[in-house]
Amino acid sequence: MIRLPEFVDRDIYKWACSEVLNKKNIETKNAKFLKLKEGLCVQCMHIGSYDDETRTIDLIEDFIGENSFINDINNKRRHHEIYLSDPRKTAATKLKTVLRIPVKRKPGH
């Protein structure tokens, strides 16, 4: 996922896709415009290669367990990543990705 500014609506998104196709000759038909109402989540900035994200996920999972939460990944709420760096222009060791996991409070907390 790539987070879009609040002012970007479907019309602006369609225009941007058209510009990418016309100016860069990059097809965007598989891209999707989504608005999410996520609810309670735990997130962490991962800096480094995508291959090393498991260490950050482990930190998130530890935080969840230590703070009276439980993982709430299901068919409607999913783990996702927000890519802040362009992997074509950024060294793998400097890539920035927000990792986000939906959670809910443990029963009784």
Give the model confidence (pLDDT) of 91-101 as tens digits: 999 999 999 99
User: For residue 24, with 0-12 CB atoms within 10 Å meaning exposed, 13-18 middle and 19 or more buried, which class applies?
Assistant: exposed
Contacts of 13-19 with CB under 8 Å at 24 or more apart are none
Tell me what pLDDT residue 94 has: 97
Q: Model confidence over 6-58: pLDDT tens digits? A: 899 999 999 999 999 999 999 999 999 988 778 999 999 999 999 999 999 99
- Contact 20/26 with Cβ under 8 angstroms? yes
pLDDT at 89 over 80: yes
CATH of domain 38-105: 3.20.80.10
Tell me the domain boundaries of the chain: 1-35, 38-105
d(C-alpha 74, C-alpha 56), whole Å: 20
